[in-house]
Amino acid sequence: MNWLTSFLNFSLVVTLTAACGDDGGDNADAAVSTDMPALSAMQVDRAGRAAIATALQETFNVSMNARNSARTAYNQDTDISNWSSYVGKSNANAKGEGFIGSLAIFDALISMCGDHPLANINPFGADPAPPIYGGLAALLADDQLYVDTGHGTCTTYLAIELEALGQQADGDCGGRKPAYDVIDVSYSLLAAGATTDVVDGVSADADGPVSATFPFLLAPTSSAAR
């Protein structure tokens, strides 16, 4: 053990003893407590599909408190068996509760309510068939990223979901690459049942193109370059 290590160890012992003694500093033999407070982890956000909570979870509720509370509950919900509860009721419900109510409003943004190409789709073959917007709402409420490892071609965000909806042929692995414009795809799907009809005007990261190679990091940028 060299002198530096000995010094550091000695300093640590002195510091801990002084910190745990009484106010007068007389109790040099006071025990050093090694007990740490218990740490608890709490999920604060979903890591599935981008913008779904923002777009569909009580989005058009006039109460900001209600919107925030609903989104917090959604983001903290770790029980997958409970996720279907966010689908909501038929769009005939005056309150427009759940994903179904929000989808009806997004549908009306393009032309008129009810003409969304995916309004009456039933991707899970449920019997009886789900109410209008119910199939799409159920698919989106299952907030997971799906990847088909049997395919080596990966070009489209939500490819597996679009295949389940009958909007894309089998062959793409799905998933989410960092370079995908997930917001454009998400809102296009919600409003028009497509992947390119709605754009937000943001086409690239302000810091430069994202690397296509794992771990997808940009080159270091100096403060002078900024």
pLDDT in tens, 42-54: 788 887 888 888 8
Given a cut of 80, whether residue 216 has pLDDT beyond it is no
Kindly list the distances between the CA atom of residue 131 and the CA atoms of 18, 50, 89, 117, 126, in Å, as whole numbers in the listed order.
69, 25, 8, 14, 11
Whether the Cβ atoms of residue 140 and residue 158 lie closer than 8 Å to each other: no
Given a cut of 50, whether residue 91 has pLDDT beyond it is no
Give Rg (Cα) of the chain.
26
Q: What pLDDT is attached to residue 209?
A: 72
User: Across all residues in the chain, what is the average pLDDT?
Assistant: 76
Given a cut of 80, whether residue 93 has pLDDT beyond it is no
Region 121-133 average pLDDT: 86
Domain range summary for the chain, segments of one domain joined by +? 52-192
Q: What pLDDT is attached to residue 21?
A: 40
Token pair, residue 14, equals 């002195």
DSSP tag of 84: G
- Higher per-residue pLDDT: 26 or 163: 163
DSSP tag of 113: T
Distance CA 151, CA 209 (A): 25
Given a cut of 80, whether residue 80 has pLDDT beyond it is yes
Q: What pLDDT is attached to residue 39?
A: 62
Q: What pLDDT is attached to residue 220?
A: 74
- Higher per-residue pLDDT: 90 or 182: 182
- Higher per-residue pLDDT: 173 or 33: 173
Rama region for 133: left / alpha / beta (φ>0; ψ in -120 to 50; rest): left
Region 22-40 average pLDDT: 53
Whether the Cβ atoms of residue 109 and residue 150 lie closer than 8 Å to each other: no
Lowest mean pLDDT among 48-57, 59-68, 76-85, 210-219: 210-219
* Maximum Cα interatomic distance, the chain, rounded to a whole number of Å: 82
Amino acid identity, position 212 = A
Per-residue pLDDT tens over the stretch 157-212: 999 999 988 888 899 999 988 888 899 999 999 988 888 888 887 877 666 777 77
Per-residue pLDDT tens over the stretch 116-125: 889 898 888 8
The backbone torsions φ and ψ at residue 174, rounded to the nearest 5 degrees and listed phi first, read 80, -140
DSSP tag of 124: T
The CA-CA-CA angle for residues 142, 147, 153, to 5°, reads 145
Cβ burial of 55 (10 Å; 0-12, 13-18, 19+) is: buried
